[in-house]
A and B are shown apart, each in its own frame.
With several copies, the nearest count.
Chain A
Amino acid sequence: MADLSVSFTGIELKNPVMLASGVWDLPYTELIDFEKLGGIVYKSISLSSREGNPPPRLTEIPCGVINSIGLANKGIENFNKEILPQLKDLGTEVFVSIFGESIEEFAELTSRITDVSGIEVNISCPNVKEGGLLFGADPDIAYNVTKAVCSNTDLPVIVKLTPEAVDIVKVALSVKEAGASAITASNTFQGLVIDIETHKPIFRRITGGVSGPAIRPLSLYKAYQITRAVDIPVIGSGGITDWMDALEYFFVGVSAIEVGSAIFNNPLAPIEIIDNINRYMDENEYKNILEMKGEVNEERC
């Protein structure tokens, strides 16, 4: 039996497969055996409750989805009182994603988070007016947000980047500099869908965030760029639907992965990925996940 556990910068997971932020909520505990998961990132929480964007909020695209949820959530107080206790009972590592419209909000929010395995800082949502990918696209703001979060907590801080940054490696270096324990690469891409009945963008905010298998080669490239340039652990996210997708991420050197939209197509995807990575490692005599890391060669031509 291969050892699937991973441990990096204060984060210890029984296996490297986590549920990504925003695609799941408590009802999934009925469907998936959460105890089997390496970790879960709860959907992005803000200081006060946000109602989110007007519907429609999601539609299908070829091999994926595009969403404009707008970070609907009931705020940190509700999270701490109602949600967190339930998450803690699930037998897996709990991470909470946080979102603020200003650096001060991020700082304040951070100070109200305790009793989780880590914080994922969402500076990469494409579906909000303030904060979101505006923060994550700019290395200086990204630095300041990360710094603010890190100075308000002793928990591991993971920063989730946007693939829409002008130079994602620069942003990665900034957040590392600011004290991030790890980087999640990456959030959704910005896309547009026109409703051919109304001739207008399907979303009220025009664009949405694209996710699912469609973006995998694009996201994988972002993860690859970061693992090569920045020496803190990277968590891969973007288009992972099966164990082979997961392996592509491990071979470029990520330390863990997050499964997002895939659960819409197959709620059992995260569990199947874990089982199959296990099988693959046994078959190929890998003793632990680290051995699979970073086998990608230098540029060859």
Chain B
Amino acid sequence: MTTFRILPVIENRRLGPYTLLRIKDVGIHKYAGCGQFVMVGLSFLRDPFLLRPLSFLSVDNDSFSLLIKIKGRGTEMLSMVKPGEYLKVLGPLGRTILPGEKGILIAGGIGIAPLFYQSQWMRGGVLLYGAKDKRELVLVKEMEDRGLVVKTITEEKGGTVCDLVMENIALLKGQRVFICGPVAMIKSLREIIRDYTRETFVYLERRMGCGIGGCKSCAIKTGYGYKFVCQDGPVFPLEEVEIG
């Protein structure tokens, strides 16, 4: 059930280089499915004009959380919202996916957000997680507590997610794999893992107008013509989509 509402922020805290916003929303756990996201904006403002797509990071009975990396003005302003202030929230949006019982998650940077949520639906598995530096590696302990085997790498020392995946390529054999991270990472991974995995899914991003399938702006080329990230995604089989 997708709704548009004005909801209060009840927590704003730093998590590594990111901002974690918790938003009050009683009953949201009944609607927010794995793979879904919300469009969020500051109330009162018409500049920034568009709401910003953000993945669910976690959902409980009376609130949900978002993890925000500052990219431009929109995310900067969202990061500064204080408890007691209100946000416009449109969602849940996107198709729910089958998380699978276990499976492999591959995260780059802020890509951890939707994968962390996905892990809430899983019973373990493996997380391969790369970031620029140690500070950017967040929620590792929580993922381990959920029963995932977490392997991390940082660019500071070690290398990229791709290096980490290559080191652990055997783990991917015959598995369902979910990837979320920057376009360049997805492109490289595609080559690396092509012959190993059973199925590979990727969380994609696109500039969005409406977030709900109205404006046709989040088009992505697939083997079946254009699809829409907000409506047909944001998670797609990797082999179906043209990346970048």
- State yes or no: do A and B come from one complex: yes
Partner of A265, one of B50, B213, B220: B50
CB-contacts of B44-103 with A (<8 A): 46-51, 74, 88, 90
* Alpha-carbon gap, A64 to B48, bound state (A): 8
- A24 to B214 alpha-carbon distance, docked (Å): 4
B211 to A: closest C-beta gap in Å? 8
Shortest distance from the beta carbon of A252 to any chain B beta carbon, whole Å = 21
Q: Are B3 and A31 neighbours in the complex by a CB distance under 8 Å?
A: yes
Count, chain B residues at interface, CB 8 A = 32
> How far is B216's CA from A43's CA once the two chains are assembled, in angstroms?
10
Instruction: Indicate whether B196 reaches chain A with its CB closer than 8 angstroms.
Output: no
- A52→B3 CA distance, assembly (Å): 28
Contact of B217 with A57 in the complex, beta carbons under 8 Å: yes
Q: What residues of chain A lie closer than 8 Å to B225, measured between beta carbons?
A: 51
- Of A65-73, A89-97, A156-164, the segment with at least 4 beta carbons within 8 Å of chain B is A65-73
A267 at the interface (CB under 8 A from B): yes
Instruction: Count chain A CB atoms within 10 A of each CB in B3, B212, B214 and give the residue with the most.
Output: B214
Is the pair B50, A65 in contact by a Cβ cutoff of 8 Å?
yes
Distance to closest chain A CB from B129 (angstroms) = 26
Stretch at the interface among B17-25, B112-120, B180-188, B202-210: B202-210
A8 at the interface (CB under 8 A from B): no
Known: A27-B231, A64-B49, A265-B51. A58 touches B209 (CB 8 A): yes
Least Cβ distance of B135 to chain A in Å?
22
B219 within 8 A of A: yes
Name B210's contact: one of A64, A213, A263 (CB within 8 Å). A263
Residues of A within 8 A of B217 (CB): 55-58, 67, 69
Q: Pick from A54, A56, A69: contact of B215, CB below 8 A.
A: A69
Q: Is B2 an interface residue when CB atoms closer than 8 A count as contact? A: yes
Q: Is A116 an interface residue (CB 8 A)?
A: no
**Contact assessment for A30 and B210 in the assembled complex, using a CB-CB cutoff below 8 Å:** no
Instruction: Report whether A52 and B219 are in contact in the complex, using a CB–CB cutoff of 8 Å.
Output: yes
Chain A residues with CB under 8 Å of B48's CB are 60
Is A25 a contact partner of B214 (Cβ separation < 8 A)?
Answer: yes
Min CB distance A96 to B, Å, is 16
In the bound complex, what is the Cα–Cα distance between A88 and B46 (angstroms)? Answer: 32
**Residue numbers in B under 8 Å from A52 (CB-CB):** 216, 219, 226
User: CA of A5 to CA of B88 in the docked complex: distance in angstroms?
Assistant: 31
For the complex, give the distance between the alpha carbons of A261 and B47 in Å: 13
Asked if A151 is at the interface of the complex by the 8 Å CB criterion, the answer is: no
Which of A27, A61, A62, A264 meets B209, CB within 8 Å? A264
A55 & B206 in contact (Cβ 8 Å cutoff): yes
Q: Give the distance in Å from the alpha carbon of A22 to the alpha carbon of B90 in the complex.
A: 19
A24-B215 in contact given A31-B4, A265-B41, A267-B4 (Cβ < 8 Å) = yes
Q: Residue of B at shortest CB range from A57?
A: B217
A246 CB, min distance to chain B CBs, angstroms: 15
Assembled-state Cα–Cα distance A63/B46 (Å): 6
Q: How far is the CB of A71 from chain B (nearest CB, A)?
A: 9
B51 touches A264 (CB 8 A): yes
**Contact status B215-A241, CB under 8 Å:** no
Is A59 part of the contact surface with B, judged by Cβ < 8 Å? yes
Known contacts being A52-B226, A57-B217, is A23 close to B46, with CB within 8 Å? no
Contact residue among A23, A59, A241 (Cβ-Cβ distance under 8 Å from B207): A59
Please tell me if A212 contacts chain B, counting CB pairs below 8 Å: yes
Closest partner residue, chain B, to A72 (CB atom): B216
**Min CB–CB distance A74 → chain B (angstroms):** 10
Instruction: Report whether A264 and B50 are in contact in the complex, using a CB–CB cutoff of 8 Å.
Output: yes
Closest CB in chain B relative to A46 CB, distance in Å: 13
What would 29 A/B residue contacts be, using CB atoms closer than 8 Å? A23-B210, A23-B214, A27-B212, A27-B214, A27-B231, A28-B212, A30-B2, A31-B2, A31-B212, A43-B216, A55-B206, A57-B216, A58-B207, A58-B209, A59-B207, A60-B48, A62-B46, A63-B47, A64-B49, A69-B215, A69-B217, A72-B219, A212-B46, A241-B46, A261-B209, A265-B46, A265-B49, A265-B51, A268-B4
Residues on B lying within 8 angstroms of A by beta carbon are: 1-4, 41, 46-51, 74, 88, 90, 206-210, 212-221, 225-226, 231
- Please name 14 further chain A to chain B contacts, defined as beta carbons within 8 Å, in addition to the given A22-B215, A67-B209, A267-B90, sorted by A numbering: A24-B215, A25-B214, A52-B216, A54-B219, A57-B218, A59-B207, A62-B49, A65-B209, A67-B215, A67-B217, A69-B217, A72-B219, A261-B209, A263-B214
